[in-house]
Structure 1
């Protein structure tokens, strides 16, 4: 007699894994907290005070389910972006929306193209729904739009993924390059354009939005520049038939009332966003300076983190990372060669940057020893 659930054949052969081990898990295992939490690309500067006030007001109403349509937030986003509300879907962060999108279009054996070493959570969803990942390498620490499109055409991919700006390297392409990529999308392929870090990028990093362009879906978030990673609010912009299709499979009550209220207030506080952008820029400069002081180089970044080249191979960078963690500095690193020669450090308060600057030379010396 067989007891317990009868898993699908797909689930039965999948490993039980998560894309990222959170800092809380590491702290429990270590038995002490980190001194500087600068590894998960969170905004330590936090959400707008107006967002905090809105969420506090909404807390007493949390006995109610959230609006299943996220109507007020969608209308505000549509007005800000100059598109119709029917072109926007709100979901549980970009991660949640990526999961829904893959479920919508990827069946067992369907090909999906991404860069080798790009965002692991996207890969996690593709594998979880039985898709087959096909990868192309980075080129000069940038995702390679031409190679991605060529590979998508070669294998008949259902989806092709690119993040602009990129995670984990922080590099970016200009709007013209991304528009050429959109224009070259093969028939039957959908371009997933992850713009999670767009608010940190220079002017001219994003092409104009054509809400009726069925070749591309754009993903954005309140987790990064708006400082609301724990609230889980992301949104996608796409052609209305695709956006409508999300209603077939999404969790209609996945968005908490508190999260919706906070995101709506944050969206209207442009002054706070500008303040955060200024702090991020200053902290990126400090990280680049710290790298130079230690004989290392850093990659130009259009995000809220900086990739620092440790000057050797991935094994050495992993030793540096381990030594930083041992000194209570939480950072992460790319997982694929040759990008894994770097460590990835999120920006933080001046005291976070000070702690990193103090620990880095010690970590380098220990790693070399």
Structure 2
């Protein structure tokens, strides 16, 4: 069969050479395929606790003004973030979630033949952007279920990397490094290399996880989001903090009207509602404890988490964990799992409501029994 995409005269040679991949298959696609809705949506690390009611009201109040473009400078939100973090607004850029910001970062720094370093099994959308601009991705393994700063730096030196990517706290394992470890990593970056520090989950992490912002250091750019703790994944709002020269360069490539007026209003109100953020943190802590207990009740091990999800070690290999995931999906529980060994021995379950936790507690032992019964046949298929 002819691959019409590959041979299209409209594509660049680079685009034609890339596989048509989707980093994540959405739960909606799975629901369409299965012909039924999930009972518990716990796979995408969204916040089922929702956004601040004040953010919801702000977005509703702004909806009638949706005929206007959003402020292309995101002025009010940037200045609110400036006040929150105690840094100048000129060191902050707002974008369509961390994914949109990663696209701009890679577009600004990577071209055909450039080398980039990340961890094997870390956030795949970063790799997606790198290959989309012609870069070459080099990976290093995790160490004890943590991304390994020393290995990342060593590989960057070896290949002459333009970028090194690390998430802290980490997705998909939920582990984290302390601020001093990250500062040491920044200090040890090779000349000409930029650290992309993804802090999507940092509001949910223990104190001492994030270093203080150093806006004068040109070697690091940090990305944060309103998708996780603030519960605005569907609004697509993120921001990056870095040296003014790099932040101002975003204006060369970013989608200046990429932020909707409604999303900007929601993020601004969410940022101001510290009480709701505290409430969500408590809910996440409660749910992490519940998931840990559910794992223990079934003879499994939950990894310590600094995020709004828990990675549960299923005790065998990736094939067994996939069987577990399939069993949970069949019972209406949407979860995901790491995709690289040995992390793929785990399944990853987002934090949820007490009702969600009850559904997981009921479905997990059934999925475990089913996967265990099929384990010999599964092993023969490896």
* TM-score, length of structure 2 as denominator length: 0.95
Question: 1:56-135, aligned counterparts within 5 Å?
Answer: 56-135=60-139
Is the 2:31–2:37 contact (alpha carbons within 8 Å) kept by the matching residues of 1? yes
Aligned to 1:22: 26
Aligned to 2:316: 312
Question: 1:1-369, aligned counterparts within 5 Å?
Answer: 5-369=9-373
Q: Over aligned residues, Cα RMSD in angstroms?
A: 1.0
Deviation at 1:322, TM superposition (A): 0.4
Deviation at 1:109, TM superposition (A): 1.1
Distance 1:102 1:114 in 2: 13
Deviation at 1:190, TM superposition (A): 0.2
For residue 133 of structure 1, give the secondary structure of its aligned residue in structure 2: strand
Deviation at 1:5, TM superposition (A): 4.3
Deviation at 1:185, TM superposition (A): 1.0
In structure 2, runs of 5+ residues without a counterpart are 374-382
* TM-score, length of structure 1 as denominator length: 0.99
Distance 1:89 1:135 in 2: 28
Deviation at 1:198, TM superposition (A): 0.2
Post-superposition, which runs of at least 4 consecutive aligned residues in structure 1 deviate over 6 A?
Answer: none
For residue 276 of structure 1, give the secondary structure of its aligned residue in structure 2: helix
Deviation at 1:6, TM superposition (A): 2.2
For residue 147 of structure 1, give the secondary structure of its aligned residue in structure 2: helix
For residue 47 of structure 1, give the secondary structure of its aligned residue in structure 2: coil
Deviation at 1:254, TM superposition (A): 0.2
Distance 2:365 2:8 in 1: 52
Structure 1, residues 34-88: CA drift from partner, whole Å, max 9, x if none?
Answer: 0100010000000000000100110000000000000000001011111111100
Distance 1:45 1:323 in 2: 25
Is the 2:152–2:164 contact (alpha carbons within 8 Å) kept by the matching residues of 1? yes
For residue 236 of structure 1, give the secondary structure of its aligned residue in structure 2: strand
The aligned length equals 368
